[in-house]
Amino acid sequence: MVRLDKFLSDCQKGTRSQVKNWIRGGQVKVNGSIEKDPGRKIGEDCDEVLLREEICRKRGFAYYMLNKPAGVVSATEDHLTDTVLAFFKDTLDRELFPVGRLDKDTTGLLLITNDGALAHRLLSPKRHVDKVYEVRIRKALTEDEIHRLESGVDIGEEKPTMPARVVVSGGAASDGKVIQMTIHEGKFHQIKRMLFAVDNEVTGLKRIAFGPVKLEDNLKEGAYRELTKEEVTALRQAAGLENASENT
């Protein structure tokens, strides 16, 4: 048994305070009768709950990996251009959203879910969840510039960035102009601003990992797949939710 207001909130109909107001306002029915007590206990599998005559069912969470192409925005809606949710038109899962943002011209791994608690934790700088990028730059970095990036740089905000990790990609083809950068924050244009702070320029940017989840090599741009149970568990552990139940 579960409280009526919690059930509606878990159905993602609104916040607990919102649904309490709707219940008290007579907008909710339980088994055909108006119910105005937010604390009314209901059986999730045996009682019928309607909000404004629409039946409410608790849904499980959905978790996807998208290989984002350039030219689409990381948002749920945009009046000018396609969003990443355009790739999910044929799924049965609704109320999906991207976990954080990738710039319009940035490609690579974007997590898509309807699990707000997990997304909030993954994006919190306090959790120190790694985000790894393959970065193409205008010129090779010096040792001093790498040290500055790994110590934190001034990008014009109140505080310097948190320390990054920088690895120069091997191979003669890269000529030192391809690096991997790992950051824990998600500031606006952060990688580009960090490189600009050491007198460099990003010419290509692709996210290849988010915490324990790595972009699948054979996943084409614009394609997506569901995360495995192991990947979801690893993300929940990275977010400090390892004791929470998995509802995949």
Q: What is the pLDDT along the chain (248 residues), one digit of tens a residue?
A: 889 998 888 776 788 889 999 999 999 999 999 999 999 999 877 888 999 988 887 667 889 999 999 999 999 988 888 899 999 987 766 689 999 999 999 999 999 999 998 999 999 888 889 999 999 999 999 999 999 999 999 999 999 999 999 999 876 566 889 999 999 998 899 999 999 999 999 999 999 999 999 999 999 999 999 999 899 999 999 998 865 444 43
Residues 84 and 187 in one domain: no
Q: Which two tokens stand for residue 228?
A: 């495995």
Residues 150 and 138 in one domain: yes
**CATH number for the domain harbouring residue 168:** 3.30.70.1560
* Residue 173 forms part of a structural domain: yes
Q: Which two tokens stand for residue 6?
A: 């919690």
Residues 43 and 73 in one domain: no
In b/e form, how buried is each residue of 82-115, taking b as 16+ CB within 10 angstroms? ebbbebbeeeebeebbbbeebbeebbbbbbbbbb
Residues 112 and 218 in one domain: yes
* Residue 37 forms part of a structural domain: yes
Whether 78 is catalytic is no
pLDDT value of residue 93: 66
Tally Cβ neighbours within 10 Å of residue 232. 20
Residues 135 and 201 in one domain: yes
CA distance 131 to 112: 15
CA distance 81 to 69: 13
Residues 116 and 178 in one domain: no
pLDDT value of residue 214: 98
- The catalytic residue among 10, 37, 78, 103 is 103
Residue that terminates a domain, selected from 12, 34, 55: 55
* Residue 247 forms part of a structural domain: no
* Residue 243 forms part of a structural domain: no
CA distance 223 to 214: 15
* Residue 6 forms part of a structural domain: yes
* Residue 112 forms part of a structural domain: yes
**CATH number for the domain harbouring residue 48:** 3.10.290.10
pLDDT value of residue 59: 65
* Residue 42 forms part of a structural domain: yes
**CATH number for the domain harbouring residue 78:** 3.30.70.580
CA distance 5 to 120: 22
CA distance 244 to 248: 12
Asked if residue 14 lies in contact with residue 52, where contact means CB atoms within 8 angstroms, the answer is: no
* Residue 246 forms part of a structural domain: no
Q: Is 53 helix (H, G, I), strand (E, B) or coil?
A: coil
pLDDT value of residue 190: 95
Q: Which domain holds residue 166?
A: 130-210
Residues 80 and 97 in one domain: yes
Residues 17 and 137 in one domain: no
pTM of the model: 0.74
Residues 74 and 197 in one domain: no
pLDDT value of residue 171: 62
pLDDT value of residue 247: 42
Sign of the alpha-carbon torsion through 186, 192, 197, 198: positive
* Burial class of residue 229 (count of CB atoms within 10 Å of its CB; 0-12, 13-18, 19+): exposed
Work out how many domains the chain is built from and give that number: 3
Asked if residue 118 lies in contact with residue 239, where contact means CB atoms within 8 angstroms, the answer is: yes
pLDDT value of residue 172: 57
Residues 115 and 71 in one domain: yes
